[in-house]
Amino acid sequence: MSLAVPIDRLLADAARHRARFGRPLVTLTYAQSLDGSIAAFRGSRLAMSGPESLSLTHQLRAAHDAILVGVGTMLVDKPLLNVRLAEGEDPQPVVLDSRLRLPLSECLLRGRKSPIWVVTTERADAQKQKALEAIGARVLRVPSDARGRVGLGGLLERLAALQVNSLMVEGGARVITSFLSEHLVDLVVITIVPVIVGGLHAVEGLVSSDGREAIDFDGFPQIQEPKIHEFPKIQEMEVQRLGKDLVVWGSVA
Ligand SMILES: NC(=O)c1ccc[n+]([C@@H]2O[C@H](COP(=O)([O-])OP(=O)(O)OC[C@H]3O[C@@H](n4cnc5c(N)ncnc54)[C@H](OP(=O)(O)O)[C@@H]3O)[C@@H](O)[C@H]2O)c1
C-alpha cells in the first residue's frame, strides 16, 4: 500500500541535513479543526483526527528519530509518544520543560523502551532533576532563550550531537509557535478535520506588532502592515484526502 504522505521521500535527506546544518530535520505535525484550533481551550484535550489520519501520525512517528512536545501538552494530554497504530520503532520522546514542572508520575516515565529526554534550562531545580532521573528520565540542560524558556537553537544542536537526524514536533500551541517564529521548521504535515471549534489556535502572533505603529502626516497612528514574505511559506503544497480529514504537507521555504 502506498503511503498517503511520502514520508520516506520527505525524510531521505535527514542525515545529510544534520551533517550540513548541525541540527536535525524538523517536521511540524498536528491536527487542527477547519478554523485552525487544536483544542477547545488551553488545558483541554480534543481528539479530532479520524482513524486514517491517526494511523498516518503513527507512521510519521515511526519514521522520525525523535518526537517532541511541550510540557503543556504532557500535563494535559499525557501522550505516550510511541508507535501503536502502525508498524515500526518508537521515536525518542523529548519534552521541553524549562522549570521541570513534569510530575514525578510513574505513568509518564516508567515502562518506556527508552527514557524520556526532558530538556530544561540552567536555572531548573537540581533536586527535581535528581528526582526525575531516579524514575528513569534523562534531563538535558541547554541555554535558555530571552524569555527563560528552552532555547531552540541549543536544543537542536544538542539533539544533533545525540545522533538525532529527524525530529517530529507534535505540539502544543506554544511550541508550534516558537518553532515557526524561529524559522526552524523544514516540513509540515497538518491534518485538517472537518469540524469548527473556535478554540486554542495552533499558531498565534508570529509577527510582533512592536515598533510597527507610526504616525501619518495628519497625526493619526498608522500601523505598518506585515508583508506576506515575513511568514513561513509552504513550497509545493500537497493535499490528500484521508477518510473524512484532509492532510496538507510540504516543505517550508
Ligand atoms: N491537536 C493536536 O494535534 C495537538 C497536539 C499537541 C497538543 N495539543 C493541545 O495543545 C494544548 C497544549 O498547548 P500549550 O501551548 O498549552 O503547551 P505546549 O506548547 O505543549 O507547551 C508549552 C510549554 O512548554 C514549555 N517550553 C519550554 N521551552 C519552550 C519554547 N522554546 N517554546 C515554547 N514552549 C516552551 C513552556 O513551559 P515552561 O516555561 O514551564 O517550560 C511552555 O509553556 C493542549 O490543549 C493540547 O491538547 C493539540
188-226 confidence digits (pLDDT tens): 999 999 999 999 999 998 887 776 777 777 777 777 888
- Whether residue 99 lies inside any domain: the answer is yes
Tally of domains in the chain? 1
Dump pLDDT digits (tens) for 140-189: 999 999 999 999 999 999 999 999 999 999 999 999 999 999 999 999 99
- Whether residue 2 lies inside any domain: the answer is no
The set of cell numbers assigned to 127 is 533536586
Q: Which atom of ligand 1 is nearest to the CA of 38?
A: 1
Q: Please indicate whether residue 99, judged by its CB atom, sits closer than 6 Å to ligand 1.
A: yes
Which run of H or E residues covers position 118?
Answer: strand 117-120
Pocket test for ligand 1, best of 34, 96, 101, 167 (most atoms within 8 A of CB): 96
- Whether residue 1 lies inside any domain: the answer is no
- Whether residue 175 lies inside any domain: the answer is yes
Query: What integer pLDDT is reported at residue 1 of this predicted model?
Result: 46
CA gap 88, 167 in Å, rounded: 16
The set of cell numbers assigned to 113 is 523502551
User: Under a CB-based contact definition with an 8 Å cutoff, are residues 98 and 122 in contact?
Assistant: no
Query: What integer pLDDT is reported at residue 106 of this predicted model?
Result: 63
CA gap 185, 253 in Å, rounded: 9
CA gap 17, 166 in Å, rounded: 9
Dump pLDDT digits (tens) for 98-151: 999 999 886 667 667 778 999 999 999 999 999 999 988 999 999 999 999 999
Q: Please indicate whether residue 97, judged by its CB atom, sits closer than 6 Å to ligand 1.
A: yes
**Alpha-carbon torsion, ordered 70, 204, 181, 170, to 10 deg:** 30
Dump pLDDT digits (tens) for 23-69: 999 999 999 999 999 999 999 999 999 999 999 999 999 999 999 99
Helix/strand/coil for 97? coil
- Whether residue 40 lies inside any domain: the answer is yes
Q: Please indicate whether residue 124, judged by its CB atom, sits closer than 6 Å to ligand 1.
A: no
CATH number of the domain bearing residue 70: 3.40.430.10
Strand 245-252 versus strand 187-193 pairing type: antiparallel
- Whether residue 225 lies inside any domain: the answer is yes
User: Under a CB-based contact definition with an 8 Å cutoff, are residues 164 and 65 in contact?
Assistant: yes
Count CB neighbours of 3 within 10 A.
Answer: 14
Domain, as residue range, for 145: 7-252
- Whether residue 108 lies inside any domain: the answer is yes
Nearest Cα residue to 61 out of 79, 88, 26, 96: 88
- Whether residue 142 lies inside any domain: the answer is yes
Q: Please indicate whether residue 156, judged by its CB atom, sits closer than 6 Å to ligand 1.
A: no
